[in-house]
């Protein structure tokens, strides 16, 4: 993004209805990563939105915390946990606030599904620095972000944006692979993808594996 949207912008998107990233299921790329053993120890799902990844992991028995800046998203996540009978925990935090992150504790695996890509260049660097607060030595960050190879339906980043942000003491970028991020087709995008509005679409994305060293 050229300029990071305020956290209020996201809160308003949830208050106004159902934003296009809410698909009521975990991202297939994240489900595959869980199956492959990519999550260990204490897990933080940062920018969890309505909590599908936290709920998925909690249902599988992982020790997971979902955190987001939008109270309405967290309320929906907690309601979904109640409806589905899943004991899941959620907390409100600003991912750019190191002190707030520190209060969450430390984690062995952090999932960022579509949070990093909303930040501008300056905030991507701030975020990488702030995340050091919540990562135990050796922790893994899995970062799923929309790619500039996509049709521009949302904020997109290049592989170099990920590598540059985490090219700093405390981090080692182990892998940046092509992946997909599933979203909902909007009215304006319908013609471009040849799908009716409301359908799901898998957009080009990056899945990065970044180690806290």
Ligand X SMILES: C[S@@+](CC[C@H](N)C(=O)[O-])C[C@H]1O[C@@H](n2cnc3c(N)ncnc32)[C@H](O)[C@@H]1O
Among 10, 62, 153, 171, binds ligand X (CB under 6 A): 10
**All residues at 6 or more sequence positions from 154 whose CB lies less than 8 Å from its CB, including other chains:** 20, 21, 114, 117, 146, 183, 203
Note whether 197 binds ligand X by CB under 6 A: no
Distance (Å) of CA 71 to CA 20, 27, 112, 151, 210: 18, 22, 18, 30, 28
From 33-41, 109-117, 165-173, 201-209, span contacting ligand X (CB under 6 A): 109-117
Among 29, 34, 43, 48, binds ligand X (CB under 6 A): 48
Q: How far apart are CA 49 and CA 32, in angstroms?
A: 20
Please state the closest distance from residue 150 (CB atom) to ligand X, in A.
14
Nearer to ligand X, 138 or 144 (CB): 144
3-state DSSP assignment of residue 209: strand
Note whether 183 binds ligand X by CB under 6 A: no
Among 113, 147, 179, 189, binds ligand X (CB under 6 A): 113
Task: Give the binding site for ligand X (CB under 6 A).
Answer: 7, 10, 21, 27, 47-49, 68-70, 73, 93-96, 113-115, 118
């Amino acid at each position: 993004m050229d300029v990071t949207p305020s956290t209020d912008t996201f809160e308003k998107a949830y208050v106004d209805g159902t934003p296009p990233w809410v698909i009521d299921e975990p991202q297939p790329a994240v489900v595959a990563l869980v199956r492959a053993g990519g999550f260990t120890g204490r897990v933080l799902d940062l920018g969890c939105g309505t909590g599908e990844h936290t709920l998925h992991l909690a249902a599988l028995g992982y020790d997971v915390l979902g955190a987001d800046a939008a109270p309405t998203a967290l309320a929906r996540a907690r309601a979904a946990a109640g409806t589905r009978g899943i004991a899941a925990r959620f907390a409100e935090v600003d991912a750019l606030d190191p002190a707030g992150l520190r209060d969450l504790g430390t984690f062995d695996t952090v999932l960022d599904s579509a949070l990093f890509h909303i930040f501008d260049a300056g905030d991507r660097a701030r975020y990488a620095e702030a995340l050091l607060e919540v990562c135990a030595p050796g922790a893994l960050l899995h970062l799923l972000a929309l790619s500039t190879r996509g049709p521009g339906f949302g904020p997109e980043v290049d592989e170099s944006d990920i590598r540059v942000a985490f090219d700093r003491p405390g981090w080692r970028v182990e892998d940046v692979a092509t992946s997909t991020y599933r979203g909902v087709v909007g009215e304006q995008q319908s013609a471009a993808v040849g799908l009716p509005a409301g359908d799901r679409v898998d957009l080009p994305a990056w899945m990065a594996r970044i180690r806290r060293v």
